[in-house]
Amino acid sequence: MRESADSTDVRADLWLWAARFFKTRSLAKQAIDGGKVEVNGAGCKAAKSLHVGDRLLISRGQERLEVELLLPSGRRGPASEAQQLYRETDASRITRETQREQRRLSGAAFDHPAHRPDKHARQQLKKIKDLR
């Protein structure tokens, strides 16, 4: 592999995969192409070189993380090593935890069905969904 753990810069898609933000490098590239990743306040491409000190804004589903790149690495290792590659800002962490708590509390008020739908109910649901 061309990129090593001691290099000074690394591709954006490779670093996002190595830092375990995305399960595959392909998913990291799709997120970058979809505008879900910003580097230093601007959009980026998958081949953009990341350097120490770069700030990344990463959107995954409902989560928005703002991290600072500490170590450029193109090697995907254990999660404990991946956490050494970046530092999440305090504001980002607090916001993310508050949003997680709000989702948890709002989900508690949701009236879940007592049981799974039976065959007849599933057929009715399918008819409703097909009408849309």
In total, the chain counts a number of residues equal to: 132
Question: How high is the pLDDT of residue 132?
Answer: 64
pLDDT at 109: 59
Residues 6+ apart with CB under 8 A from 117: 125
> Where do we find the tokens 């993380």?
65
Please report which residue ranges of 19-89 form alpha helices under DSSP H.
25-33, 79-82
Domains of the chain are: 1-98 (3.10.290.10)
Give residue 9's pLDDT band: very low, low, confident or very high (50, 70, 90). confident
> Is pTM, for the whole model, over 0.85?
no
* Residue 48 per-residue DSSP state: P
pLDDT per residue over 73-100, tens digit each? 889 999 999 999 999 999 999 999 998 8
Calculate what percentage of the chain has a pLDDT beyond 90: 67
